[in-house]
Structure 1
Amino acid sequence: MMDTSSYLNAVVDQTSTFAEWVDGRDAAAPVPTCPKWTLADLVDHVGATHRMVAMLVGEQLSEPSKAFAAYVPAPADSAQWGLWMVEGAAAAKQAFESVADDTPVWDPSGAAAGVPFWSRRLFGEASVHRADAAAALNKRYELAPESAVAALEDWLDTMTSRGYWENRPDFAKAMRGDGQTLHFHATDAPGEWLARREQNRVALEHTHTEADVTLSGPAADLLLVISRRRKLDAAPDLELHGDPALLDRWIEHMDWVTD
């Protein structure tokens, strides 16, 4: 399992690659994996998130309004994007180095996860949004299996958290169930998850068991499919067993804002 320092080092590394890809590129370029976004929107989101989380953690905020109000948009000139991105990741890393893992900091999980939540969340953001940049700019996306497992853990744990359930009633309505189970299994690094749809939550366990539907294969492919960055039929190394409609419904609602 990665620790806070490892997560932030990886954020800096992935952001450096991201910054090289986007620096000086067409701000209006579409992002196929985020159909409502341009490349400028993607850069703005990633870089501004670094800065907001740096403020939340560095100033040990107990609620997020100050950090949200201090949102820093990306430079209008894409030739400044590279440096702006790198500076934001460095500021986030510095903020985490100034606190301990048990330092109280607000987070949206509903579990008071604080500093560890945000270190993992920034890593997950970097992993998924670099895939967005790769799709927009026709770059090859690579992520080591162990890192892909860590990003999957972030995605699944965040999307099934009590805070997400309570703050996204549309998601809760769609995901309520009577015990239907989905099993995700990485085959190139240790990583297994069982998601159980219950009436008042989605319960997430780390176990190997029979399920109503199982999706298995390389961790990076699992990440891209579950995060809606790649269609299942474009990931031939993944194997699907069980009820495909249950998986389709799950993936349909694996979004930060569902309609």
Structure 2
Amino acid sequence: MTALAGESLRLRCIEAVVEEGERFGILAAELADAGRLDVVVPWVPAWTARDLVGHLGTVHRWATDIVCAGHADSPPGEQEPPDDGLLDWYAAGHTALVRALRTTPPDSPAWHMSPAAPKVAASWARRQAHELAVHRMDLEATAGVAHAPLDPVLADDGVDELLSIVVPRWAHREPLADADAVVAVTSTGSGRQWEVRVDRGVVTIGPVPSGAADATLTGDGTQLLRHLWGRPAGVQVDGDATAEALLRGR
């Protein structure tokens, strides 16, 4: 299985934004029709399905504004979801996001929250594809339906984005700021590997484990993605649990 990169990755991520966003919207509508938007998200008990829809609709508009701004300065503020017409509001925001990702040149300047991310619009196609995939699975868990399969190539890329882009975003904070650890991650479906070194707030990624890992994570790409974002998953964890926990989503 070959990892995607460059324009091929951007285009596939935009496809995923379309597919995942539509799947999420359909499931949200089914929950609304059944009067179940206030059901708690089992993996994120602070949220209901309604909160999840509102969160994604807000993130879609925020990302759209960043992509369309044409500069990499501080981002705009986030919009609050409406009290009424939530599903139409979600659908409109998703449509606007897809349009922005398709029409904005990939190298157009765009702010990003991570110091490790290229400050260009293409970074947001990737971020939104993986944001949607994880939250789509959240909504499926809430609805009690089977999870639709995630493209293995995109699942692996979601793992790569979290390790190489998202984790460095947290590097200046505790517990990473004072941590000294090495964690090896292996995707069993593709054989893709990562070695993440955290050295007092400096995060570096290598493609081949050195054998010096304090902890190892092993699982297929989808399970790794879920585990690393703090969701239940079938992942084998060996070694120092504290080291492994450094990589998990906040």
* TM-score, L = length of structure 2: 0.85
Aligned 8 A contact 2:176 2:198 in 1:
no
SS of the counterpart of 2:174? helix
Change (3 A) 1:155 1:107: same
Q: 2:114 aligns with which of 109, 122, 139?
A: 109
Q: Distance in 2 between matches of 1:140 and 1:224?
A: 15
Q: Distance in 1 between matches of 2:229 and 2:50?
A: 21
> Which one-letter code corresponds to 1:250 in the other structure?
L
1:158 matched to 2:165? The reply is yes
Q: Distance in 2 between matches of 1:177 and 1:73?
A: 38
Q: 2:77 aligns with which of 68, 77, 99?
A: 68
1:172 matched to 2:173? The reply is no
Aligned 8 A contact 2:72 2:119 in 1:
no
- How far the C-alpha of 1:190 sits from its partner, in A, is 4.7
SS of the counterpart of 1:160? helix
Q: Distance in 2 between matches of 1:75 and 1:219?
A: 37
- How far the C-alpha of 1:30 sits from its partner, in A, is 0.5
Aligned 8 A contact 1:43 1:74 in 2:
no
Partner of 1:85: 90
Change (3 A) 1:242 1:171: closer
- How far the C-alpha of 1:196 sits from its partner, in A, is 0.9
Q: Distance in 2 between matches of 1:61 and 1:127?
A: 27
SS of the counterpart of 2:77? helix
Q: Distance in 1 between matches of 2:170 and 2:182?
A: 19
Change (3 A) 1:190 1:12: farther
Q: Distance in 1 between matches of 2:93 and 2:21?
A: 9
Aligned 8 A contact 1:160 1:203 in 2:
no
Q: Distance in 2 between matches of 1:10 and 1:75?
A: 28
Aligned 8 A contact 1:160 1:201 in 2:
no
Aligned 8 A contact 1:51 1:72 in 2:
no
Change (3 A) 1:165 1:239: closer
Q: Distance in 2 between matches of 1:106 and 1:244?
A: 34
Q: Distance in 2 between matches of 1:29 and 1:206?
A: 41
- How far the C-alpha of 1:7 sits from its partner, in A, is 0.7
Aligned 8 A contact 2:176 2:246 in 1:
no
- How far the C-alpha of 1:245 sits from its partner, in A, is 4.4
Q: Please list the CA deviations of residues 220-253 of structure 1 after superposition, one character each: whole Å capped at 9, or x if unmatched.
A: 111111211115xxx2xx3333334432x336xx
Q: Distance in 1 between matches of 2:143 and 2:58?
A: 21
Q: Distance in 1 between matches of 2:241 and 2:167?
A: 20
> Which one-letter code corresponds to 1:40 in the other structure?
R
Q: Distance in 2 between matches of 1:121 and 1:145?
A: 16
Partner of 2:230: 228
1:255 matched to 2:249? The reply is yes
Q: Please list the CA deviations of residues 197-229 of structure 1 after superposition, one character each: whole Å capped at 9, or x if unmatched.
A: 201312222224322221112111111112111
Structure 2 unmatched runs, 5+: none
Q: Distance in 2 between matches of 1:202 and 1:50?
A: 28
1:147 matched to 2:154? The reply is yes
SS of the counterpart of 1:31? coil
Q: 1:242 aligns with which of 216, 221, 239?
A: 239
Aligned 8 A contact 1:160 1:204 in 2:
no
Structure 1 unmatched runs, 5+: none
Aligned 8 A contact 1:15 1:85 in 2:
no
Q: 1:34 aligns with which of 36, 39, 44?
A: 44
What number of residue pairs does the alignment pair up? 237
Q: Please list the CA deviations of residues 6-25 of structure 1 after superposition, one character each: whole Å capped at 9, or x if unmatched.
A: 21110110111111111115
Q: Distance in 2 between matches of 1:139 and 1:227?
A: 20
Q: 1:56 aligns with which of 66, 72, 76?
A: 66
